Amino acid sequence: MQLRLLPFCLGLVGALAAMPPALAQFDVNLVPKYTIWDIKFGEPISQIPPEEVAEIACGTNGGPPSTPLKDFAEFARCPAEPTGLHEVFFTNDDEADYIAKALEAEYRVMQGGTSIYAHPVVFSVLIDAEGIVRGIRIVTDERAADRERRVAMTLSRNLKSRYGRWAQACENLPPTDGQLPVGKIFVHEICTADSPEGDARMRLEATYFRKKGQTSINLETQTINKNYFQSATRLEVVQKPYEPDTRPVR
């Protein structure tokens, strides 16, 4: 451990020690017990322990949740996508997050929510008609604060590294349909890869640009248009013979 982290750790331990008995339930290990990375393809959806996730709902192609579901067994209520898979949205278990909120814990890391690599994201699991898990979808959460949304594209770097053993083929796409760079930066990269075992395929898309009409300045009022840009990372990993959805990030 680096010495400069020592005061933080001592402070954290001290803060935890001084808190009410409810904190006995607090898991100092800040990573949730069950995460999207624990999902196994080719196995029934019942593999996901319901007590280890908070909200379950029909997914909207990586967007916000739609119809709430009592449990994953109700996946068939979600309309099938063109691939025939049903997208079910879920969030990480938030028990520790809410203990931190209740105790007004100083360290925001304790209030992580549904995130990976410190980026707020939307998780979905893709299920076939027989209730077998065939894939996962992770999209940066468009509802995040401006500051977090601005760096959403950088999540792709973490995910590239995570899938480093997969032989990735990446392509940088040029601006189309009136797209403009944000300042001097334009990113539209799509990486695809097959798993080393050859049984799964991934598609990773990173975007950072202004869409048509998203100008930086309002020419009528001469004010800066805040939040007028697209910044997102979208990962989809599916079991073969299914193919990742290529619909654009909304």
Partner 1 sequence: MRMALLALLVLLPGSAFAGPAEDLKSGARTECRGCDLSNQSFKKANLAGVDLSGANLSGTTFHRANLKGANLSNVLAEGANFNLADLGSADLSGGHFKDAMFYEAQLSGAKLAKADLSATRMQHARLTGADLSGADLDWAVMKEVRLNNANLTDASMERTNLEKASVGRSKFDGTTITSAGFLEVSAPGASFKDATISLTDFYGAELNNANFAGATLSDNRFTRAKLKLEQFADTTFTRNILPDGRVQGTQ
Of 70 and 184, nearer to partner 1 (C-beta) is 70
Name the minimum Å distance from CB 20 to partner 1: 4
Angle at Cα 72 formed by Cα 80 and Cα 112, nearest 5°?
Answer: 105
Of 21 and 241, nearer to partner 1 (C-beta) is 21
Name the minimum Å distance from CB 75 to partner 1: 18
| 214 torsion bin: left (phi>0), alpha (psi -120 to 50), beta (else) | beta
**Residue type at 117?**
Y
Of 1 and 24, nearer to partner 1 (C-beta) is 24
- Those residues whose C-beta lies under 8 Å from the C-beta of residue 212, and which sit 6 or more positions away, are 177, 178, 179
- Those residues whose C-beta lies under 8 Å from the C-beta of residue 87, and which sit 6 or more positions away, are 58, 59, 60, 61, 78, 81, 124, 125, 126, 137
Which residue in the block uniquely carries the two structure tokens 């579901």? 69
Name the minimum Å distance from CB 144 to partner 1: 20
**Site residues (vs partner 1, CB under 8 A):** 20-22, 24-25, 50-51, 54, 94-95, 98-99, 101-104
Of 94 and 141, nearer to partner 1 (C-beta) is 94
Say if residue 2 is exposed, middle or buried (CB neighbours under 10 Å; 0-12, 13-18, 19+): exposed
Q: Tokens representing 215?
A: 């100008």
Name the minimum Å distance from CB 102 to partner 1: 4
Name the minimum Å distance from CB 114 to partner 1: 15
Of 123 and 242, nearer to partner 1 (C-beta) is 123
Q: Tokens representing 11?
A: 């402070």
